[in-house]
Amino acid sequence: MALRPTRPQSRSDQLAERKAAQGDVFLREVDDALREDQLFHALRRYGKPVGALVVAGLVGLAGWLWYDYHKATVAGEQGERMTIALDQLEAGRVQTSSDSMAPLVKDGGPGYRAAAQLTQAGIAAQQNKTDDAAKLLAAVAADQSAPQAYRDLATIREVAITMDKLPPEKVVERLKPLAVPGNAWFGSAGELLGVAYLKQGKNDLAGPLFAAMAKDKTVPASIRERARQLAGTLGVDTIDDPKALIAQGQAQQGPADAGAQ
């Protein structure tokens, strides 16, 4: 059967097609420009909020960690004192709670001492006493007798509240060991580490890290959403294997570092 001849486009059809093509080009240019602009503003948009959210989100964790630790230990005077102090904090009696924890900070066992210091640090941070909070957190992070979960939490908190003063290299040094898939603090540490990479101009490391967090279902949903947005801004798609994605970014960084030497 013979095919019907193709009907010539009318003038209006030609104009509409040309306009659509021009629109596609314009949208692509806008998208490219937006990516550059979003990346330029990524630090200002997420840098301080990330630190603030980490601090706010972790303030209550000291109490939870203490409770978990307390379940595995014999209840005694220290446990009762910690319970009273946390009840006072929940009731809004902040200074009274901090005072109640002072004896635990001075003479408490490793777990109680660390939990009290973490809680006092959270109180100080919320009162904008950053230096006091940082000292308490540094003490916990350096305390080899404290449970490792407490020490890791203290490290993340200390970096979060002092990030504006720390060089990005120092942030990377302290948080890279914690910002790995499978670690309990992958999301919290990874978010801060990603911001440090952005400050260093290492988008090839930041992008895969954000994408890995976005795909990791063990990471809190709020962190995953921010990580997904930042990964997209950096032009990195998420994949199912977060470890492979981070390894890919590090493999790409290796030749670049070798060439720079």
pLDDT tens digit string along 169-214? 999 999 999 999 999 999 999 999 999 999 999 999 999 999 999 9
Q: What is the mean pLDDT of residues 9-21?
A: 51
Domain count, the chain: 2
Which of residues 121, 143, 165 is at a domain's end? 165
Task: Let me know if residue 7 belongs to a domain.
Answer: no
Which of residues 165, 187, 203 is at a domain's end? 165
Show the domain range for 219. Answer: 166-252
pLDDT at 78 (0 to 100): 77
Q: What is the mean pLDDT of residues 131-155?
A: 94
Q: What is the mean pLDDT of residues 40-56?
A: 47
Task: Let me know if residue 125 belongs to a domain.
Answer: yes
Task: Let me know if residue 35 belongs to a domain.
Answer: no
Range with top average pLDDT, 18-27, 29-38, 52-61, 82-91: 82-91
| C-alpha–C-alpha distance, residues 28 and 5, integer Å | 35
Kindly tell me if the per-residue pLDDT of 238 is higher than 50.
yes
- Verify that 68 and 150 share a domain, yes or no: yes
- Verify that 137 and 232 share a domain, yes or no: no
- Verify that 86 and 176 share a domain, yes or no: no
- Verify that 90 and 153 share a domain, yes or no: yes
Task: Let me know if residue 5 belongs to a domain.
Answer: no
First vs last Cα of the chain: how many Å apart?
70
Which of residues 98, 132, 165 is at a domain's end? 165
Task: Let me know if residue 194 belongs to a domain.
Answer: yes
Task: Let me know if residue 49 belongs to a domain.
Answer: no
Confidence of residue 61 (pLDDT cuts 50, 70, 90): low
**Residue labelled with tokens 């947005």:** 229
- Verify that 155 and 218 share a domain, yes or no: no
The answer to whether 229 and 244 have CB atoms below 8 angstroms apart is no
| Range list of H helices, 72-202 | 77-90, 94-107, 110-126, 130-142, 148-162, 168-175, 186-200
- Verify that 154 and 222 share a domain, yes or no: no
- Verify that 170 and 238 share a domain, yes or no: yes
Structure tokens at 176: 């890279």
Which residues fall within 8 angstroms of residue 233, CB to CB, at 6 or more apart? 35, 38, 39, 42
Instruction: Give the distance from CA 244 to its chain's centroid.
Output: 20
pLDDT at 240 (0 to 100): 58
pLDDT tens digit string along 27-40? 444 444 444 444 44
Task: Let me know if residue 28 belongs to a domain.
Answer: no
